[in-house]
Structure 1
Amino acid sequence: MNDADADADTDTARLRAAARELVDVALTVQDAAAHATSALTGVALPHALPACGALLRATTNGRGLGWAFTGGGPLLTAAAKIGGMLGAESLSVRVLATSLRLRVAAVAIAHPELTGDPMLARLIDAAAADRDLEAVRALRALLKERGAVRALSQLAPVFGEVLALRALLDENPLNDATAWLIATGKGYATADPITGLSNRVIAVLDTGEGAARRVELSAAESALLCTRGSLLGFLGNISALGTTGRILIQSVEGPDGVIRHVLQAPGMRAGRPDGESPQDLLGAFSSAVLASSPYSRALAEAVADYGLPPEAELALVGHSAGGAAIMNLVQDAAFCARHTVTHVVAVGSPIDFKRPADRRTWVASVTNQHDIIPTLDGQGAGTCFDLHPDWYVVDYGDATHLFPLCHGIDHYRANLADDLPEARAVIDERLTPYRGRVVRSQAYLLFDRPPGPEGFPFLTVPTRSVAEGGVELPIRCHESRALTAYFAAHPAVAAGLLEGAGVGPAVQVAGRALVAVHVAANRCASAGAYAELQVGVVVPGPFRRRFPFVPDLLRAADLRRSGSFLVGTAVDAPVVRALGSRLWGGETYLTPLKIRLGRSAEVGADQILTLRGRLGPGLPLSDPGVVAYAREAGVVLRSCVRTRGPARLHAAPPLRLVVAPQSAHPLAGRLRELGLDGARPLLCLSTAVRQSLRDAAVPVPR
């Protein structure tokens, strides 16, 4: 370290020491104001009017305590709130605001960009001077110029101090308590510093007793797991898991031959809150601001299922929300009574106001000063408090100031590997009992609440075995995607295909016959994964010659009369093809199928057709399922696919069906005869995810 760095460190220490002393002064002044207010309400009138007047002047005069009512009954409490709304300040608030300004100045020594950047300096100065309009304009200019991500990244080192200043000096009385908590280091921010909305209002939305289920990792994921315990190895495991709602528990044979265990918890899962995973946004928030959350309770369930021996030692490693969750777990006295938690390592986590139930637990906290997430509890790089003299705290800065890049687990891991060798060595040394051969690994998928049996209740149905391939009917599919496209076809060709079928004439639109092309990718089915393609002429069904088609099309399959009289079916699984005559009847072909459905559709059936294009916007509805008819041995068969899941109805989507050129496949020939080569659908029904039940076809009574 050179002389300039030493001088900078000295100046920073002096500013923080002065800020800490001002906190004590502010608290003393606040106590004096509380006593004065209490005495004011207890003065006996009329004998003590002079004393009453003196106390009133002391608690309202700007040269004394300022507008310093604190409590004192409903009347004085209302007076304090009204004064705050009118901009009246107390002496304690002014002292505390000065402390926050000193902290900003201390951080600016290590981060000169805060004061050297005109836009950042303008915002900080306006916030510190209680110039609301100027602060809003400065923030708007900063966001417009650099975007929200870059702006927050640059403000991160003093984010908590700037928010606390705004909360102290604005006219909103609802956020004053939060400002005092942040500024005095007495506890985590209990409310939003801007609006004053209680954090618990949001956190209580994250409910559930927590649950964990064993899952197997893919071969590629398993190959990435560490085979020997170390800090970088455990963080690498968290990176391999990703933010997928899973955690990992490993058993490690230490240098002394003792088997110990390590729980590794990733951060927040990307996307909107889903009410199922405790690793979503709500779970991350509640883990940070509450002492217990579904995430921590799910971790406890995973540890219980893993089956730790009595007195076994356990280390916890977490990133981001995972770090907050493991600290909640180690705060649980009952959990610590069941298990010996020896070490906790939290990386990029807001854990300043969490305490282990067992004082013997060693805690390490690693935070990047430009990472906003660790400051969500109100304490950041500018703190002047030594909140954890018994913890190993690494609070550092690097050249990467951009959030969320500086928050990523891979970035923290690279920092510890390349930029913080001293800190890594200290943590690894403390983790020596866990540095050895990994003898067992088990991943868990976490839930807010215990999930029901897979497919319950829709797929919980009686089953029976059939001879062909030992398959059970009905075929139960836990996850599939499907698309049904309706085309206008040659009416004469369609009439010829239906001759003698006994299911009525083809449904027509503007003089053209309606033909349905149905495809489905059944990725998780009781008969194994398979894809299917069915082409059929849409008919009103047996016993009807006319039928209101569109309303019936959207009716659930088990109640629907209309359906498609099958021209042909193709599947890509031999076991399903062998069942074709039992499942739907008619001709079934075995051919490779490729089906991709999303915002666009891409369907490929070897030697038959391709169907590609955008689906466009659609009307949301429930998937109605599929009904098909076929004729075998003089009997009309009706097959039905019952489904559960959301669907979308697309009017005239820009898809195009192309028949395989020069193909001799019978189904390709049928499509050409119907005039569908190059056709665009009139209507499409798409399903991104659904469950389905396909049972055997049944004869239609005469």
Structure 2
Amino acid sequence: MSDDLGVTGGAEGIEVGIEDLRRASASLQRASDAVVKATPRETGVELPTPGVPVVGPDWGLGTRVLGAPTDLVPLVARCRHDLDDLVADVASAVERLRRLSREVASAAATYEWAEAAVRGLIDGVHVQAMATAWLVTELTGQAFGLLDEGSGWDVGVVPVSQTRSSPVIASADWLLSGLEGLSHDGSVRVVEVPVADGTTTWVVQVPGTHGGLWRGDEVPMDWPANVSLMLRNTGASKIAATKALEQAQRGRSRPGDRVVLAGFSQGGIVAAALASDPDFGRRHRVSHVVTAGSPIDQFPIPVSTTVLSLQHRADPVHALDVSPPPGRRHWTTVTSGAATTATGPFRFHDLPLYRRVAARADRSGDVSLTAWKRGAAPALTPAAGSRAVVHEFRSERRWQNRDS
């Protein structure tokens, strides 16, 4: 299978294309206005209104030819004829510039309308799919406890260790590499990175789904949490990540600190849910989100947060939101068809595979990916001589319905 990377959105997304068309239209209009403004000053010629017959300038030569050298008369006549032609050509060029400006503006409006119409259809399909999922999970939850996380989450988070890390690398692959070391016991990692501008970047790394299907268990990253995150934008795993971050920051954070959220599968949904949460956004400056194999395309992540979403064409998990990647300036989606050595029905939903995709994205010269790397560097490049601190936490759901 081909490993060619496909890139959607970012610096070459349709949103940027529409903005470029509008800028081009405005530039064409300014150019035509500049020509009209400059012509009288440079030549003494007033450009006619489009559609009005062109009349050349009258410099009074016609009344003063008598007494002038007779060989000057043909030269003056030729100059006047050539100037008339030049004025007509400039007037025609101005009209063409204005027409082109209107056409480009119209094209931008048409593209914007089409994008909005398509997005509206997609939103409708997404809403229907989520409504169906909600109905199914409500019925199965009430009858069997399947995928039922309840309506309240009492989550405890306990620090496990704090160590100095090896140097941080400003790359998508480095962000995903920290997920491979997380054990499947509700672990969350927060990496404290001192950066050159005197602030700190707090990198929150959340693993994928692990745990039970039935009524939830002690591990907050279980299957019921997936359902709650997609349908309600909250869940035990989101609370676990929030508490881990705030414990790591206690007494150590300062105004202006950045937060970078990274996750695989459910961990990516947690990252998108946190970045979309206005309350979390008021408390934390979320600069970047990086996800792998996560269905996040419908999350309303604000434009102040830069998103990098990695998706595999054969992975069904990231498509569970029934939405294509958005074409926004702040949101870059990388799709890949990389081969895998994993086996089973979810062999393409594999963290080592996504790390290879991330490494390819890091090396890519694509305009959108280059812009993402340039934007991430200030947040993920440690200050000279500094070392990052790794805070490890273990989370536990104290299931509120355990005795029911």
Report the TM-score, using the length of structure 1 for normalisation.
0.34
Q: Residue 129 of structure 1 aligns with which residue?
A: none
1:374 aligns to 2:323 (yes or no): no
**Aligned 8 A contact 2:126 2:321 in 1:** no
1:364 deviates by 1.4
Separation in 2, partners of 1:287, 1:354: 10
Separation in 2, partners of 1:387, 1:184: 18
1:185 deviates by 4.8
Q: After superposition, give the CA deviation of every residue in 1:62-88 in whole Å (9 maximum; x if it has no partner).
A: xxxxxxxxxxxxxxxxxxxxxxxxxxx
1:317 aligns to 2:262 (yes or no): yes
**Aligned 8 A contact 2:305 2:330 in 1:** no
Q: Residue 180 of structure 2 aligns with which residue?
A: 239
Q: Residue 392 of structure 2 aligns with which residue?
A: 443
Instruction: Give 1:215-226 correspondences, 5 Å limit.
Output: 215-217=159-161, 226=166
Q: Residue 290 of structure 2 aligns with which residue?
A: 345
Instruction: Give 1:645-656 correspondences, 5 Å limit.
Output: none
**Aligned 8 A contact 2:149 2:225 in 1:** no
1:340 deviates by 0.9
**Aligned 8 A contact 1:266 1:320 in 2:** yes
Separation in 2, partners of 1:248, 1:335: 18
- Corresponding residue SS for 2:311: strand
Separation in 1, partners of 2:166, 2:201: 15
**Structure 1 residue identity aligned to 2:358:** L
| Sequence identity percentage | 23
**Aligned 8 A contact 2:168 2:174 in 1:** yes
Separation in 1, partners of 2:372, 2:184: 24
Separation in 2, partners of 1:239, 1:326: 17
Question: Of residues 268, 272, 281 in structure 1, which corresponds to 2:209?
Answer: 268
Separation in 2, partners of 1:206, 1:438: 41
1:348 deviates by 0.8
Question: Of residues 130, 151, 166 in structure 2, which corresponds to 1:190?
Answer: 130
Separation in 2, partners of 1:188, 1:420: 36
Q: Residue 334 of structure 2 aligns with which residue?
A: 394
Distance 1:191 1:334, change over 3 A: closer
Instruction: Give 1:262-661 correspondences, 5 Å limit.
Output: 262-273=203-214, 274-306=216-248, 307=250, 308-356=253-301, 358-379=302-323, 383=324, 386=326, 388=328, 390-400=330-340, 403-418=345-360, 421-422=363-364, 426-433=371-378, 434-436=380-382, 437-449=386-398
Report the TM-score, using the length of structure 2 for normalisation.
0.57
Separation in 2, partners of 1:330, 1:394: 19
- Corresponding residue SS for 2:221: coil
- Corresponding residue SS for 1:352: coil
Q: Residue 227 of structure 1 aligns with which residue?
A: 167
Separation in 2, partners of 1:296, 1:185: 26
Distance 1:217 1:371, change over 3 A: farther
Q: Residue 153 of structure 2 aligns with which residue?
A: 209
Distance 1:210 1:325, change over 3 A: farther
1:206 deviates by 4.4
Q: Residue 644 of structure 1 aligns with which residue?
A: none
Distance 1:332 1:232, change over 3 A: same
**Structure 2 residue identity aligned to 1:245:** G
**Aligned 8 A contact 2:308 2:331 in 1:** yes
Higher mean C-alpha deviation, range 202-211 or range 306-315: 202-211
Report which structure shows greater RCO (CA 8 Å, sep ≥6). Answer: 2
Q: Residue 49 of structure 2 aligns with which residue?
A: none
Q: Which has the larger radius of gyration?
A: 1
- Corresponding residue SS for 1:251: strand
**Structure 2 residue identity aligned to 1:266:** P
Q: Residue 252 of structure 1 aligns with which residue?
A: 193
Going by fraction, where is strand more abundant, 1 or 2? 1
Distance 1:229 1:208, change over 3 A: farther
Q: Aligned pairs, how many?
A: 263
1:408 deviates by 1.7
Distance 1:350 1:210, change over 3 A: farther
- Corresponding residue SS for 2:129: coil
Separation in 2, partners of 1:181, 1:198: 23
Q: After superposition, give the CA deviation of every residue in 1:311-330 in whole Å (9 maximum; x if it has no partner).
A: 32111111100110121112
Separation in 2, partners of 1:290, 1:411: 29
* Structure 2 unmatched ranges of 5 or more: 5-119, 142-146
* Structure 1 unmatched ranges of 5 or more: 6-179, 452-702
- Corresponding residue SS for 1:405: coil
Separation in 1, partners of 2:357, 2:203: 22
Distance 1:198 1:413, change over 3 A: same
Separation in 2, partners of 1:377, 1:200: 18
Separation in 1, partners of 2:192, 2:123: 42
**Aligned 8 A contact 2:155 2:398 in 1:** yes
Separation in 1, partners of 2:129, 2:121: 6
**Aligned 8 A contact 2:173 2:362 in 1:** no
Separation in 2, partners of 1:315, 1:378: 26
1:450 deviates by 8.6
Separation in 2, partners of 1:305, 1:282: 25
**Aligned 8 A contact 2:312 2:348 in 1:** yes
1:234 deviates by 2.1
Separation in 2, partners of 1:336, 1:349: 21
1:182 deviates by 5.8
Separation in 2, partners of 1:299, 1:191: 27
RMSD: 3.4
**Aligned 8 A contact 1:366 1:395 in 2:** yes
